[in-house]
Amino acid sequence: MAKALGGKLHSKILLGLLLGAALGILANTLLGGRHPLTEWVNHYVAGPLGQVFLRMLFMIVMPLVFASITLGVAGLGDLRRVGRIGGKAVGYFLATTFLAAATGLFFVGVLKPGDAIDAPVKAELMATYAGDASARLASASAGGFGVHTFVNIVTRNPVKSAAEGDMLGVIFFGLVFGAALTLIPAAKAKPLLDLLESLNEAVIAIVGMAMRLAPYGVTALIFGVTSRFGFALLLPLGGYMLVVLGALLFHALVNLSLVLRLLVGIPPALFFSRVRSAVVTAFSTSSSSATLPTALEAAEQGLGVPPKIAGFVLPLGSTMCMNGTAIFEGITAIFLCQVFGVELSLGQMAVVVVMAVITAVGAAGVPGGSIPLLAGIVAMVGVPGEGIAIILGVDRLLDMSRTAVNVYGDLSATAYVARSEKLWDASLVPAGTLAAERA
C-alpha cells in the first residue's frame, strides 16, 4: 500500500494538478469561463471524470471511520484492565492531538489564506458547485451550536447516520461498539474483530484504488475550476501550504518542546538528536506504520526507553497519536470554508476541532490515509466535494511533513509514559549515541 501510494503516484498527481491548471487557465484566458466549448468539456468530460474520483472517496468514508475507530478502541484490550500505562498513553495522545488541532485552527484563523479570493469569486464558486448533497449538509449545520449538538452525537440509527453522512453519529457508534467488544469474552469478540480487520484492510485497498485515479481526477477537477475562475484559486495555494507547514513546525518546535522540557524533563535538542532517524524515515515514507520499526529502535537504543514501554506505546501511537494529521485536517477544512465563502460559527469551529482530533485518531497510518476522512469533514461543514481537488495536488509534501510530526509525537509520548512510570529519565539516555551517529 505504501509503495502504491509512493512518490511516483504523488508526482503524477502533482503533474495532473499542473496540467489541469494550465489547460484551465488557457481555456479561461482564450475562451472565457462561460464559452460553449469550455462548458461542453466541463459537462461531458472533466465533470464526470472528476465526480467518479470524488464518489470513490466519499463511498469509503463511513466504513473507514467505523472500522478504524472500533478497532482502535478494541485494540486497547479490556478497558477495565488496560491499566495505568494505557490510560496515560491514550490521555497523552488525545491531549497533544487536541493541542495540535487547536494550533492549526489558530494559524488558519489568523492568517486566513483562503481570504485571498475575492468575494464575487467565492459567491460564484458556491453557486457553481453547491450541489444538493452539500447544500443539505450546509443547511443541517446552520442550526447553530448548543446542547442539541452533543445530544445528536448519540445516534438513533447508525445505519441512517452512515447513509446521511453523519460522521459524529458513526464515530460515537464505533466508540461504543469497540468498547463493548472489550467487555465480552475474547472468543466471542474475535470473529467480529477479524471481520473488522478484513473490512479495514479492504477499505484501505479501495483508498489505493481511488488514489490511482487521483492524477486523472485531479486534472479534471482542477480544469473545471480554473477554466471558470482562472488564477483566482491557484494563488492562495501557496499561502495555504505555508500555513500548514508553519503550524506543523510550530507544534514540533514550540508545543512539543515545552512538553518535553516540562513533562518529560529532557532538552528538546537532545531528544531530537536521538530520534532523528525515525523522523527522517517518517518524512520519506509518509507512513507512521512503515516507520514503526525505526521508531522502536530510536526509542529503545537512542533514548534508552525500556522495551516494555516502547513496545506498548509506539504501536498504539502509530494509529492513535496523529498530531500532524489533526493540524492538516483542521487547517484544510477551514481553508476550504474560506475559499468557498462558508461562514462557521465559533461552535461549529469547535466541532471542526473535535472532528479533526477524532478522525486523525482514526486515520490509517499509510500515505493518503487521511484524505477520505478529510472529505467527510469538509462535507459536514458545507464545502462541496470539488474543494478537495484544490489541495490534493500539493498534498505530497504536506503528507511527508505531517507524518514526521506524527512520529515525533509518538516518540514524545513514549518518553512521557516511561518517565511518569519512573522507569526512565533523561539521565538514562545512552551516552555516545550522538558521537556514534556523527562517526
The cell for 327 is 493540524
- What CATH code would you report for 7-434? 1.10.3860
Digit-by-digit pLDDT tens for the chain (439 residues) are 333 344 577 678 778 878 888 898 898 888 877 788 888 988 888 888 888 877 887 787 788 778 877 887 777 665 555 567 778 888 999 899 999 999 999 999 999 998 887 777 777 766 666 553 344 344 444 444 445 656 777 888 988 888 877 767 887 888 889 889 988 898 999 999 999 989 888 887 887 787 788 788 888 877 887 887 777 666 777 889 899 999 999 999 999 999 999 999 999 999 999 999 899 888 877 778 778 888 988 999 999 999 888 887 887 787 778 899 999 989 998 998 888 888 888 778 888 888 888 777 666 555 556 677 777 778 777 777 667 777 876 776 788 899 999 999 999 999 999 999 888 988 888 876 443 443 3
Return the ∠ at Cα 46 (arms to 40 and 49), rounded to 5°: 135
Q: CA-CA-CA-CA torsion for 388, 390, 396, 397, nearest 10 degrees?
A: -130
**pTM, entire model:** 0.73
Q: What angle do CA 403, 409, 414 make, to 5 degrees?
A: 130
CA separation (Å) from 56 to 13, 60, 88, 232? 16, 7, 38, 27
115 three-class SS:
helix
CA–CA dist 93, 323 (Å, integer):
8
DSSP 370: T
**Helix axes 83-111 and 346-362, enclosed angle (nearest 10):** 130
Gyration radius (Cα) of the chain, Å: 22
The C-alpha atoms of residue 128 and residue 326 are separated, in whole angstroms, by: 29
Distance (Å, rounded) from C-alpha 72 to C-alpha 319? 7
How does DSSP assign 83-111, residue by residue?
HHHHHHHHHHHHHHHHHHHHHHHHHHHHH
Q: For residue 434, what pLDDT is reported? A: 42
d(CA 240, CA 436): 40
Which of 381, 380, 393 lies closest to 345 in space, CA to CA?
381
AA letter at 341: G
Name 31's Cβ contacts closer than 8 Å, sequence gap at least 6. 37, 38
| Positive/negative CA dihedral, 209, 409, 305, 418 | negative
- Residue 136's pLDDT is 38
pLDDT at 60: 78
Instruction: Tell me which residue has cell 494550465.
Output: 22
Euclidean distance between CA atoms 424 and 429, whole angstroms: 9
- With b for 16 or more beta-carbon neighbours within 10 A and e for fewer, the 140-161 pattern comes to ebeeebeeebeebbebeebeeb
Q: What is the pLDDT of residue 433?
A: 47
Nearby residues of 325 by Cβ (< 8 Å), 6 or more positions away: 360, 363, 370, 402, 406
Q: Tell me what pLDDT residue 133 has.
A: 37
Copy the grid coordinates of residue 317: 501511537
* E strands in 181-297: none
**Which grid cell is 216?**
486523472
- Boundaries of every domain in the chain: 7-434
Alpha-carbon distance of 337 to 342, in angstroms, equals 5
The answer to whether the beta carbons of residues 227 and 42 sit under 8 Å apart is yes
List alpha helices for 142-185, DSSP H: 147-153, 158-163, 167-183
Residue 2 has what pLDDT?
Answer: 39
What's the rounded Cα separation, in Å, for the pair 101 and 13? 26
Considering only the C-alpha atoms of the chain, give the largest distance between any 2 of them, rounded to a whole number of Å: 72
- What is the Cβ-side half-sphere exposure of residue 355, based on CA atoms within 13 angstroms? 32
CA 210, CA 270: separation in Å to the nearest integer?
41
